[in-house]
Amino acid sequence: MLLKLYLFLTGYVTVMVKGGNIERFLNLCVNKSLYIRELKMKDGGIVFSIPVRDFRKIKILLQKTKSKVHILERHGVPFFIHRYRHRKTFVVSAILACTLVYLSTLYIWDINVTGADQYTAQQMIRDIKEKYLALGTKKKDVDCFEMEKKLRKDYDKIGWISCDIKGTQFNVIITETVSTDKIEKTGEPCDIIAIRDCTVGEIITRSGIPVVKSGDTVKKGDTLISGIVPIMGDYEALMDISYVESDGDIYGITTLPYEDSFPLHTYDKIYTGKETKKYSLYVMDACLRLPSGKKRYENYDTVTEERKLKLGRTFYLPVIFEAKVLKEYKVTPKTFSDAEAEKLAEKRLNAYIDTLKEKKVEILENNVTIEIRDGTCTASGTLTVSEPVGIRGPIDQSLAPKEENAGNTE
C-alpha cells in the first residue's frame, strides 16, 4: 500500500520494449537494481511499469541492446500537474482540497457507541457531545482513559467500557450490568468483580478464591472471586502465589425501580400516504438548505436520515447530507376505559419483565401497583430480582497474602 502511494506521488510509466536482445536488456536492468513491475510479454516485446527516476536510466541500456522503447501510459501526480499546468486555478483548488481533507483527519468528526441496550446509543452519543467531546476536537487532546472514567461514573449500569479512536471516529464499546450470565474467558489472570451494588444471593466458584459469601452486601467494583491463589506448605506456611483466571457464577439480589404512565385520552394515527422530502447539506456548522417540496401538513411525523461523508471505514469528514421525510397523518381520538388502561399497563409491565428474563434475571418480588388518577394511568413500584452480577476485573493485589503472615517452621 505504501509502495503504491509512493509510486503515485513520484510518478511511473508503463512502457513497451521491442527489438534487439530483450533478455540481455532485462539482465542489465537487474544489475542496475532498476525497479520493474507488472512484467509481461506482448506483441513480440515486453510491457512493464517503471518509476520515472528509473526510466531515465534505461536509455543507455536500450543503446547497448539495440532495443526501442514506447511509452504506453503515464501515471502519478507529476504527470497530473504537467497535464493541467496551464489551469492554475484547477491545480491550486485540487491542492487546497487535499490539504483540507488532510487537516480534517486530525480531528474527531463522528462518535459511535456499541453494546448499549438500557441506555440508547443515540442518548449516549448526545450526552458525550454535550458534556465531554464536541465534534471537531483535536484527536491529540482526547484522553480515552479519562473518558472511560467519566462515562463509568455517570452511567451506573455500565459494567465494562472501552474507548478508542479509529481514523476520525471516537468509539465507545460498553457492556451493561444486566446483560448475560456468561463471563467471557480470555485465558488471562483476572478477578471477578461486582457490576452493581447488591446483596450476594448465590456464588458458585469454579476457579479462583471467593472473598464473599451468600448474604454479604457488596458495592460496584468490589472483588467477588479473587484470581490470587496462595500455595501453602507444611504448617500453613506460604510457599508461593499463583495467578489464575477466575471463573464462577455470582447472583446478586437487587431492587429495580419501575415507573410507566400514559393518558387515558389519546389518539390513533392514520397515515394518508402523502409525503414531502427536504434535503440539507452540513459542512461543519454551516447549513445549506437544498430546494425541496413546499407542501405543509397540519399533522405529520418526521423521519430523518443522515449520510456522513467518509474516506474508507473510519475517516469521517465534517460533511453531512441530511434527508427529512414529512409523513402526513390524520388524528382519530381514542379513550381507554379504566379496565382497558389497567390491562394495557399490565401488558407493558409484563413486556419489561420478559426483557429481564431474557437476560437471565429472576423476578423474586413484584411490588408494582397500577393506579388511575386525573386521566392518567400510572404503574409504579419496585421489582426485587436475582441477576448475574459478576464481570472480569483486574487482579486486586491488596488481597494477596502477606509474607510476614507466613507460617514459622521453627
User: Lowest-confidence range among 153-157, 170-174, 243-247, 280-284?
Assistant: 153-157
pLDDT in tens, 388-400: 888 888 888 887 7
pLDDT at 3 over 80: no
CA–CA distance, 91 with 79 (Å, rounded to integer):
12
pTM over 0.75: no
Is the pLDDT at 179 greater than 50, yes or no? no
Share of the chain above pLDDT 90, in %: 20
What would the pLDDT profile of 84-126 be if each residue is shown by its tens digit? 667 767 767 777 888 888 888 888 888 888 877 667 788 888 8
Confidence tier at 196 by pLDDT (50, 70, 90) = confident
Task: Kindly list the distances between the CA atom of residue 179 and the CA atoms of 19, 266, 348, in Å, as whole numbers in the listed order.
Answer: 73, 35, 20
Calculate the CA dihedral of residues 356, 362, 365, 369 and round it to 10 degrees.
Answer: 20
Could you tell me whether strands 286-290 and 300-311 are parallel, antiparallel, or unpaired per DSSP bridges?
A: unpaired
Q: pLDDT band for 405, please (50, 70, 90 cuts).
A: very low
- pLDDT of 181 strictly over 60: no
Using pLDDT thresholds of 50, 70 and 90, give the confidence band for residue 407: very low
Residue 408 is predicted with a pLDDT of: 41
Mean predicted confidence (pLDDT) in 190-206: 90
Amino acid at 355: T
- 347 pLDDT tier (thresholds 50, 70, 90): very high
Q: Which three cell numbers stand for residue 85?
A: 499546468
pLDDT at residue 236, as a whole number: 73
% of the chain beyond a pLDDT of 70: 91
Got the DSSP string for 127-182? HIIIII--TT-BGGG--HHHHHHHHHHH-TTEEEEEEEEETTEEEEEEEESSS-SP
Which pLDDT score, from 0 to 100, does residue 310 have?
81
User: Which residue reads 494477596 in cell numbers?
Assistant: 400
Please enumerate in sequence order all residues whose Cβ is within 8 A of that of 182, keeping only pairs 6 or more positions apart, or say none: none
Q: Of 34-38, 113-117, 157-161, which has the strongest mean pLDDT?
A: 34-38
Distance CA(225)–CA(237), nearest Å, equals: 22
Banded pLDDT at 368 (limits 50, 70, 90): very high
Q: What is the pLDDT of residue 315?
A: 82
364 or 234, greater pLDDT: 364
What DSSP state is assigned to residue 404?
G
For the chain, give the mean pLDDT.
84
CA distance 131 to 126: 9
Would you call 18 exposed, middle or buried from its count of C-beta atoms within 10 A (0-12, 13-18, 19+)? middle
Query: Angle at CA 306, nearest 5°, toward 302 and 308?
Result: 170
State pLDDT tens for residues 217-274. 999 889 999 999 888 777 777 778 888 999 898 999 999 899 999 999 988 888 998 8
Cα gap 34→42, rounded to integer Å:
21
CA atoms in the 13 A half-sphere facing the CB of 240 = 2
